Amino acid sequence: MREVDTAIGILTLPKILPQERINAELKGITLFKEIIDTSKLWKLNNAIAKRPRAYCRVGDYKIVLDPFQTLENCYFERNFHLVLSINDRKVCVLESHNSDVAYIDSMISLLLLGEAGWPEVTTPVTMREVSVEQQIIDYYLGRERSKDSMKLCFTAENKEELLQARHEIEGGNSWEGLATIMKVARKKYVCSPLWTMDDVVCEISPYVNVCSEEQISLYFENPFEPADRIFLKIIMSIPNI
């Protein structure tokens, strides 16, 4: 084994590795660091020289990438999975690789995916929750949450349902979209002890308010569940009928 000084720390590589291969990784690692240095999303924790980690936050999720462990796994074990976690949960991301390309390239691609806003089509399916989270953030950017409500959060399943509801509404199916939003509202109110009625109304209001008053009134007249009217009355101040 040999230790190589890189732009982000000391990397261990096989002793027999050709110098041109090492140079390719060094060049790629320099680019990796340059992307992080200019990024508003990614940061680098290089407190430990041999174990720097790139990380970012997307809403409720913290993504951590271990570039050196990934490279060492590639060279010593022929294991091409990224050493990646979301909220301390290991995530399986296997990048296609080419023996003529530096292995750091796959991690550069991950950084650029984040910079691009985790597009749904190109983000690995194992990171779908991050893509959904980013889409929700993009829709409701700038919305402030009260300090008390920070203890409350939607699950990944809830968020996917709410995003689907948004797509339904945008596609002209406001009844289906509102039915999905109300399903989430009922579930949080009934099944989550921390969620009060006020909490539920506060958290779902931005999703409901995508609809026009006419669309909401039409759903109010014919809801999926009669209980849905309770939430809508508070949100839109619709009088009892």
3-state secondary structure of 180: helix
Q: Are residues 119 and 146 in the same domain?
A: no
Mean pLDDT along residues 205-215: 90
pLDDT at 146: 44
pLDDT band, very low/low/confident/very high, at 98 (cuts 50, 70, 90): low
Q: Dump pLDDT digits (tens) for 103-128.
A: 999 999 999 999 989 988 889 999 99
Same domain, 90 and 17: yes
One domain for residues 59 and 87 = yes
Shared domain for 83 and 31, answered yes or no, is yes
| Same-domain status, 73 and 21 | yes
Evaluate whether residue 47 is within a structural domain.
yes
47 pLDDT band, cuts 50/70/90, is: low
User: What mean pLDDT is reported for the chain?
Assistant: 86
State pLDDT tens for residues 52-88.
999 999 988 999 999 999 999 999 999 999 999 999 9
Give the containing element (helix H, strand E) for 47: none
At 241 the pLDDT is 41
pLDDT at residue 185, as a whole number = 92
Within a domain: 226: yes
Q: Does residue 133 belong to any structural domain of this protein?
A: no
Question: Does 146 fall in a domain?
Answer: yes
Q: How confident is the model at residue 191, as a pLDDT?
A: 81
pLDDT, position 97: 62
In a domain, 134, yes or no: no
User: Where in the sequence is the domain holding 212, given as residue range(s)?
Assistant: 140-236
4: enclosing H helix or E strand: strand 2-6
Assess whether 119 and 149 both reside in one domain. no
Q: In this structure, are 117 and 223 located in the same domain? A: no
CA 11, CA 73: separation in Å to the nearest integer?
Answer: 12
Q: Is 131 part of any domain?
A: no
**pLDDT above 70 for 140:** no
Same domain, 155 and 111: no
pLDDT at 54: 96
How many domains, in total, are found in the chain?
Answer: 2
Q: What pLDDT was estimated at residue 135?
A: 83
Q: What are phi and psi of 70, to 5 degrees?
A: -60, -45
Query: pTM for the full model?
Result: 0.70
pLDDT of 99: 63
Residues 8 and 114 in one domain: yes
In angstroms, rounded to a whole number, what is the distance separating the alpha carbons of residues 219 and 181? 12
- Can you give the pLDDT at residue 147? 43
7, 106: one domain: yes
